[in-house]
Amino acid sequence: MRTPAEKTVAAISFHDNKNLSIDIEDVVGIDIGTPQELSPGIWFCDLIIRSDVGNVSLQLTSDSLDKLKTIQSSDV
C-alpha cells in the first residue's frame, strides 16, 4: 500500500481557447486503445487513466496516425 507521500497523480491540461484541468490521485495505470480512422484523414483513440477510485476516459483525435502512435500505455 502506498503512503500519502507516494501517491501517483495525473494532471491533464489543455491550453487554447478553452481550458480543462483534471487532477487524478492514486493512478494505477494508463492505457491507450488502438488508433482507428474515424473518417478520411481523421484518427482517434481512447486514453484511459485508471485510479483506485475509478477511471477517466478521453477520446483523442488527430489528423495524423503517427501523432497517436507516439502515445504508449504504461503501468504506474
Per-residue pLDDT reduced to its tens digit, 50-70: 988 889 888 889 998 988 877
**Residue 68 belongs to domain spanning:** 4-75
Question: 28-42 pLDDT, tens per residue?
Answer: 888 888 899 999 999
> How would you write 11-63 as a 3-class SS string?
EEEEECCCEEEEEEECEEEEEECCCEEEECCEEEEEEEEEECCCEEEEEEEEC
pTM score, two decimals? Answer: 0.64
Specify the pLDDT at position 44: 92
Mean pLDDT value across the chain: 80
Total domains in the fold of the chain: 1
